[in-house]
Chains A and B, each alone.
Chain A
Amino acid sequence: MYKILEKKEIAMRNVWYKIQAPHVAGKVKPGQFVIVRAFSNGERIPLTPVMWDAEEGWIVLITFIRGKTTMKMAAELKEGDYILNVAGPLGNPAEMKKFGKILAIGAYTGIVETFPIAKAWHEIGNYVTTLHVTFEPMVVLKEELERAVDSHIVETVPIDPNLDFPTNMKNVTKRLTETVREMLEKEDYDLVFMVGPAGDQRAVFNVVKEFGIPMKADLHPIMVDGTGMCGSCRVTVGGEVKFACIDGPEFDAYQVDWDVLIARSGYYTDMEQRAMQEYMKAIQGGGE
């Protein structure tokens, strides 16, 4: 059981949890993640420590309210409550070396995962530019990134209330790819890194590829245990089957089979929607 020391909504649908988890705080490195199980009938979901303090024993997780679990966490967990399970750190740390000039991208809440890696790259002497593309009310970690890296760029897209969410998201993808193209045309980068929805990762990769710049991507297939035991997180990289939880989550974007990743990430969409709808009905109808 891990105590929630602090909880706040830092932007629309973005929730910050500071959690007492000394076993993770003492060990985690940028690029690693944890698996959280928040409720006794809940699922295990991967989340990323964004900040941590080994001495004080806490980590910060930031969730984007996406489906039932992240929504229920936001709705029901309060400061002082406990999270049942926080397992980790899991996965491999990001490669820490001098690449030179790096463009580190985060789409939507993906920026919170880019944050610790970009910060560490900067600290060891890379010239790091971070790019955050998201909807206007969803900007997070702006000041923190401005302090942590050489240059932080935020590109926002308004939410058009007349359009549905998927159509709005297409506008983000468009802005993302256009901005990346402009940046790569203007300046030479030695490495591009990105966290975000797989579809956006692929869209960005297709731009980066034209410039022939190395690119790494943190992949987010669906995970269960996070310890290499189930194979739910398998991805096709370089024609081989890899387990993202123990072989990744960072991979060479040039080797990733994006079709497989995108198809696998969406496999449960219908059931996730049902879970979410039933949960919303329950909290709206039932009250207490």
Chain B
Amino acid sequence: MVRKRRIIKERVPTPERPAEERIHDFKEVNLGYTFGLAVKEAERCLQCPYNYAPCIKGCPVHIDIPGFISKLVQYRDDPDKAVKEALNVIWACNSLPATTGRVCPQEDQCEMNCVMGKVGDKINIGKLERFVADYAREKGIDEELLFEIIPKIEKTGQRVAIIGAGPAGLTAAGELAKLGYDVTIYEALHEPGGVLMYGIPEFRLPKSIVEKEIDKLRKLGVKILTDHIVGKTVTMDELLQNYDAVFIGSGAGTPRLINAPGINLNGIYTANEFLTRVNLMKAYLFPEYDTPVKVGKKVIVIGAGNTGMDAARSARRFGAEVTIAYRRGEEDVSARIEEVEHAKEEGIKFAYFLNPVEFIGDENGKVKAVKFEKMKALDERDSRGKRKIVGTGEYVTLEAETVIIAIGKHPNRLIINTPGLEVDKRGKIIVDENLMTSIPGVFAGGDAIRGEATVILAMGDGRRAAKAIHEYLTKKREGQKANA
């Protein structure tokens, strides 16, 4: 039953730092709601019934969105209680709300379907989710909830190994630990977090938030072995000998390069290298931090996905003049809408229908320009619904001292070479409906099975896999008991 109420058409805005200020640092752009503002936004929600609410259907992990929003209004006189109740609702489906509240493409998911859109602005679900998570973290409410869960965990005595500490692996680890398993994560890098740590910049997702999430996992008893590369430090066979099940969340970390002359010139970075230097290694604090990065006056970023936006906006923060060159048109830009808007506000230029064909270097082997072929779109659409593009035979050359390639990534190679592990021709690990791979007892999820996808899908896979592993190991336990 929908209550009669006054409809408030406009969104309650979240404060943002002005573009002129934020392009000089790596601090967060959007400041998020206060409790007062969050309640005001929450009041706009029509509280669609659970079985109908289109936002829930649009959410890949089906968070009870009206459910958590209603708590903010219901307990408006007791902010701590309101947030605790709301967080409890979110946690039933999503253990990383501070992250997803910031990086989910809400406009294509929950918010896309929001019925408020028919009469006014859609509910700002992402920022409400983020508010709940941030407030809970700052007040220690998330830990309080966690400490209520921990004593109830019954240990099963079985061990699970997780490969990769990105959102897929972290989520699977957390869920399995809550189900009583002894969980160890193997992570190749020196910091857990995956793309959340090395890819997405500080100004969009502060690293302290990711660190806090990882802290919570440790409190749940999850062990994290950094510097351990599965396939090198330890093999899949060894994992299978020492653990009852394995989950692969190794992501899609192999950068795709452009097959064009001059690709190995100096000054040409893959987005992964550029962002790893900047985010994980904190090159923006050189020489206080030791890792260098070079950003010329003119930067061209090739590709217009989230990675492209992050690379462009990071380069902008080094004072560069940045152009994003994309081989398709504006309608096909795949980045989150908020990032595209922020990029434009920050003065980043967009050049469409340009396909790189050659990188031109100077006498020292350093890039100085990129030659592009001009493309044009046909009416015909490809399998993903994007208009097909063809070359026009016309060329244009743009100057650049730094070029960043952000055209996508493939699954990590060290894992997909595991003997017996079936992968498709693009290197994606093949799984069944329970996310089990061709190796019995080995499950996989996230970008490792999807190619480049999203944080929430990776997290959703982590949860589903945890459930499937739980079923698999429960059977195994019962089988062992029966045999004993």
Contacts and interface: CB of A to CB of B under 8 A. Distances in A.
Given A85-B190, A259-B365, A264-B266, A225 B276 contact: yes
A235 B264 contact: yes
A268 B292 CA distance: 7
A43 B276 contact: no
A278 interface: yes
A267 B364 CA distance: 10
Contacts of A264: 264, 266, 365
B273 A227 contact: no
A42 interface: yes
Interface string A223-264: 011011111101110000100001000000000010110011
B150 interface: no
- The prevalent SS among residues of B at the interface is loop
B277 interface: yes
A84 B227 CA distance: 10
A78 interface: no
Interface residues of A, number: 43
B239 to A, nearest CB: 13
Contact of A41 (B229, B272, B289, B414): B289
A4 to B, nearest CB: 16
Contacts of B281: 43-44, 224
* Chain A facing B: main interface SS: mixed
Interface string B183-200: 000001110000000100
A37 interface: yes
Contact of B253 (A228, A236, A259, A268): A228
A144 B253 CA distance: 40
Q: Kindly state the interface size class of chain B when it binds its partner.
A: 35 or more
Given A229-B272, A230-B273, A241 B257 contact: yes
B366 interface: yes
Contacts of A271: 286-287, 292, 294
A69 B287 CA distance: 12
A217 interface: no
B291 A43 contact: yes
B232 interface: yes
Lowest 10 CB-CB distances: which A-B pairs, in order? A263-B365, A87-B227, A230-B273, A271-B292, A229-B253, A231-B270, A43-B290, A85-B190, A43-B291, A41-B289
Given A87-B188, A246-B414, 4 more contacts: A27-B234, A39-B290, A44-B190, A228-B414
Interface of A: 23-24, 27, 37, 39, 41-44, 68-69, 84-90, 224-225, 227-232, 234-236, 241, 246, 257, 259-260, 263-264, 267-268, 271-272, 274-275, 278
